[in-house]
């Protein structure tokens, strides 16, 4: 398959563009390969999308580390975590539309009926929220996993809508979304 560095190159060079516009030749070129090399390796657009989904999950885990290891109060750590979600989403703006049909498999727990977001995407938020509950600075109404799922989705979907639909600059969208959501969690 494709090495992780080549997948990052594709994301960095083409992540701002709609996936539906991209030809396999462009994808290959952004990875520093030829279209024929992708063909010989049996790498299709779907394989590349899958590799980008794996990279996305990995980036969520990495981005959570500073917020998890900080010694500041939970609201500040939550702000840091939500800001990192926006930063990751910024790198994938153009690809999220293409991943739309795959997003449930990427983000959601399997199962029938109501499901939560998978652990790699919400575990850090759950931990920070629990710390905030313990210190009395954050509140939840209901289940911790449901609250983390709501918070992740409110951050991610709203940020992307403000960036793509409303065309707000990244700094403004991130600041406004994060501020609103952190304020809603504070006691």
Report if residue 32 sits inside a domain: no
Report if residue 165 sits inside a domain: yes
Domain that holds residue 89: 53-185
Give the pTM.
0.87
Report if residue 170 sits inside a domain: yes
Element (H, E) at 111: none
Report if residue 81 sits inside a domain: yes
| Residues near 97 by beta carbon (within 8 Å), at least 6 away in sequence | 18, 19, 20
Q: How many domains does the chain have?
A: 1
Report if residue 5 sits inside a domain: no
Residue 52 half-sphere exposure toward CB, CA atoms < 13 A: 31
How far, in Å, CA of 134 to CA of 22, rounded? 48
Would you give the distance in Å from CA 172 to the centre of its chain?
18
Q: What is the pLDDT along the chain (187 residues), one digit of tens a residue?
A: 789 999 999 988 887 777 777 788 888 999 999 999 999 999 988 888 888 888 999 999 999 999 999 999 999 999 999 999 999 999 888 778 767 777 888 899 999 999 999 999 999 999 999 999 999 999 998 899 999 999 999 999 999 999 999 999 999 999 999 999 999 999 9
Report if residue 172 sits inside a domain: yes
**pLDDT for the residue 103:** 82
Of the candidates 69, 67, 111, the residue with the CA atom closest to the CA atom of residue 87:
67
Report if residue 36 sits inside a domain: no
CATH number of the domain that residue 78 is part of: 1.10.357.10
Residue 105 has which token pair? Answer: 């498999």
Report if residue 21 sits inside a domain: no
């Amino acid at each position: 398959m494709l090495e992780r560095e080549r997948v990052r190159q594709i994301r960095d060079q083409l992540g701002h563009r709609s996936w539906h516009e991209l030809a396999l030749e462009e994808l290959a070129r952004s990875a520093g390969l030829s279209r024929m090399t992708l063909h010989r390796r049996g790498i299709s657009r779907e394989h590349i999308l899958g590799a980008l989904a794996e990279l996305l999950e990995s980036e969520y885990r990495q981005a959570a580390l500073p917020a998890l290891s900080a010694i500041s109060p939970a609201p500040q750590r939550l702000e840091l975590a939500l800001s990192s979600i926006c930063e990751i989403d910024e790198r994938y703006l153009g690809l999220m539309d293409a991943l739309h049909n795959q997003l449930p498999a990427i983000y959601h727990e399997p199962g029938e009926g109501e499901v939560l977001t998978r652990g790699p995407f919400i575990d850090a938020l759950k931990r920070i929220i629990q710390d905030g509950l313990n210190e009395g600075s954050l509140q939840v109404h209901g289940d911790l996993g449901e609250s983390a799922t709501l918070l992740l989705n409110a951050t991610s979907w709203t940020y992307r809508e403000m960036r793509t639909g409303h065309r707000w600059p990244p700094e403004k969208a991130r600041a406004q979304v994060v501020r609103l959501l952190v304020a809603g969690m504070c006691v």
